Structure 1
Amino acid sequence: MDFRTPVIIPESTFRIDHSTKMMLLGSCFSENISARLQEYKFLVKTNPFGIVYNPFSVAAVVKRLLSNKGFDETDLVFHDNVYQSFLHHGLFSHPDKNRCLGNISRSFDEAAGFILKTDVFLITFGTAYVYKLKSTGEVVANCHKFPSSAFVRERLTIEEIVKEWSSVINAISAHHPAAKFIFTVSPIRHWKDGAHENQISKSILHLAIDRLQKMYAPTLSYFPAYEILLDELRDYRFFAEDMMHPSSVAIEYIWERFGETFFTRETIRANSEWDQINRSLDHRPLNNQTENYRHFLKQTLQKLILFRQNHPQIDCSREIEELTEKTDK
């Protein structure tokens, strides 16, 4: 007897390997997948403006990067004794204006150079609700605890999202015709919207992505992270303590399903090999001065060198350098 309802994922029309350049944008679910991709040495750039939740703010990030229009003092606001940007997550806020702008500019410059070479975009929408600044009509990515009276709260329509993202996809494709897109809906509930309104919001996101998928097939794929967590796993043991975010076990399972869907067989094998090496790198002995531990380090270094020879597209030079220093002591 099967006590689960597994989500059937159609075979992807394209594959990802360690030479694929990926940019992940959107809600904190993007961060979860990005952490795994980085752990396994993929070429990844994630949320250069910080976590963003609504489709219009994610689109604004892409458009700003493609225009290569950087940020200056006029893009900053001062509130609660810190400088910040309405297009950025609070991660970039700082009491010192130059530090704030410097952090924003460094991240922007790196991402603006990367986006033109990006092969696969993974976009995660979190909510269809947006907050518009009354003074400008601008959709903000983060309200930064400004008073609610400064904003107008609206719910995007399917048509608005499709129109906005059609222009974004077309703009990306003009720079990189071979670029591919993976869209997901974050399985994390926006409970502050209310249970019913959260469902409406997620439904709008699903329908907008479905329409985009039909318009841009086979360039655009949908990955059912939302369905895997809420329909296949469907149990509070797969949620973190806040009962909203997925647990580490759930994230690991969704990561496995992601790999099965998009990775080549060679990529999966390389990941498995790296996983074993990485466990050795993370090993912390009770006593690091023993001969046995020195032998263990040399064996790990040999495995690393062989791994690099077998997978030259994967950069593990930093790990080899660090381990070489340890074995030479």
Structure 2
Amino acid sequence: MTFTTPVHIPPSRVRIGYAHQLLVFGSCFAEAIGARLADGLFCVDLNPFGTLYNPLSVAAAIERLLAPRPFTEAELIHHADAYHSPLHHSDFSAPTATECLRRINDRLAHSARHLAAADRLIVTFGTAYVYRWRETGAVVGNCHKLPERCFTRTRLTVDEIVHTWTALMDTLHRQRPALQWLFTVSPVRHLRDGAHENALSKSTLLLAVDQLVSRCPERADYFPAYEIMMDELRDYRFYADDMCHPSPLAVRYIGERFEAACMDPQTRQWLSRAEAIHRDLQHKPFHPDSEAHRRFVAQTTLKLHQLQSELPCPSTFESHLST
């Protein structure tokens, strides 16, 4: 007997390999997949604006990278003894405007250069609900715990998402014809919205992504992370303690399905070796001056050099090792 409904995933049209420059945007599930790629020593820039959940904020972040005008103090808000950017996660917040802008603009400059060379964009939409400034109607990426009276909360329509993203994808295609897009919908449940509202939100995102991918199938595809969680891993043992986020085991399983769909066998073999090297690099020795540890370092270095010699872009690999 079979007690699950496996999700069939054909090979993705968007292939991912070590020769590619990857940019990953979106929700906390994007963070999990992006971190997995980074641990595998891919050339990946993960969430340059921090975690963003709604499609309009993700689009605004990418648009800002296309025209990387530095942020100014006029674009910040001061609340609870800190400065914040409405387009950034609180990871960029700081006690002073100078420090907040330094964090934001340093990352902006770095990621704008990465986007200029990128040929793969992976985007995860988390929710169709947005918060708009009550005075201007502008969508914010993060409310930074400002009073609820400052915002109005609405659910985006499929047409709003498709209109914004069609324009963005067309702009990027003109600038970078080789760029390909891989969309996912986050399996994280936003139950604070309510169960029915969460279902409406995810349905809106799924319909919007379907239209975007159908519009340009030669350069865009969809990976069914949401469907894997909802159907194949339909059991609370695959959820974290909050019963909303996938557990580490579920994230690992979805990551393996992602790799099987998007990577060729050689890339997956390199990835397996790179992950083992990454684990070795994270090893904290009890006796760093011992002969045993020196042998361990020498063996790890040898593995690095061997893998580096096989990869199609060793300079990219080297840059990851230096971080």
**Is TM-score (shorter-chain normalized) higher than 0.5?**
yes
Partner of 2:43: 43
Partner of 2:203: 203
Shift of 1:125: 0.7
**1:268-312: CA deviation from partner (whole Å, max 9, x where unpaired):** 111122233334434445444443443333233222222222225
Are 2:256 and 1:261 equivalent residues in the alignment? Answer: no
**1:19-62: CA deviation from partner (whole Å, max 9, x where unpaired):** 11111111111100011110011111111111111111111111
User: 2:111 & 2:321 partners in 1: Cα distance?
Assistant: 27
1:223-238 counterparts in 2 under 5 A?
223-238=223-238
- Structure 2-normalised TM-score? 0.94
Partner of 1:57: 57
- Structure 1-normalised TM-score? 0.93
Structure 2: gaps spanning 5 or more residues: none
Partner of 1:108: 108
The one-letter amino acid of 2:135's match is S
Residues 27, 125 of structure 1: 8 Å contact kept: yes
Say if 1:75 and 1:312 are closer, same or farther in 2 by CA, change over 3 A: same
User: 2:95 & 2:38 partners in 1: Cα distance?
Assistant: 30
User: 1:73 & 1:319 partners in 2: Cα distance?
Assistant: 32
- Secondary structure at 1:116 match in 2: helix
Partner of 1:89: 89
Partner of 1:325: none
- Secondary structure at 1:184 match in 2: strand
Partner of 1:129: 129
User: 1:320 & 1:115 partners in 2: Cα distance?
Assistant: 21
Partner of 1:214: 214
Structure 1: gaps spanning 5 or more residues: 323-329
User: 1:91 & 1:296 partners in 2: Cα distance?
Assistant: 35
- Secondary structure at 1:132 match in 2: strand
User: 2:243 & 2:284 partners in 1: Cα distance?
Assistant: 33
276-285 or 173-182: which moved more?
A: 276-285
Partner of 1:242: 242
User: 2:296 & 2:82 partners in 1: Cα distance?
Assistant: 49
270-279 or 102-111: which moved more?
A: 270-279
Are 2:107 and 1:80 equivalent residues in the alignment? Answer: no
Shift of 1:185: 0.6
Partner of 1:326: none
- Corresponding residue pairs, total: 322
**1:249-280: CA deviation from partner (whole Å, max 9, x where unpaired):** 11111110110011122111111222333344
Say if 1:33 and 1:152 are closer, same or farther in 2 by CA, change over 3 A: same
User: 2:275 & 2:78 partners in 1: Cα distance?
Assistant: 45
309-318 or 197-206: which moved more?
A: 309-318
Partner of 2:33: 33
The CA RMSD over aligned residues, in Å, is 1.8
Shift of 1:6: 0.9
Say if 1:277 and 1:113 are closer, same or farther in 2 by CA, change over 3 A: closer
The one-letter amino acid of 1:160's match is E
Shift of 1:320: 7.7
Partner of 1:308: 308
Residues 301, 320 of structure 1: 8 Å contact kept: no
**1:51-99: CA deviation from partner (whole Å, max 9, x where unpaired):** 1111111111111111222201111111111111111111111111100
82-91 or 291-300: which moved more?
A: 291-300
Residues 63, 168 of structure 1: 8 Å contact kept: yes
Shift of 1:14: 3.2
Say if 1:274 and 1:72 are closer, same or farther in 2 by CA, change over 3 A: same
Shift of 1:103: 0.6
- Secondary structure at 1:102 match in 2: helix
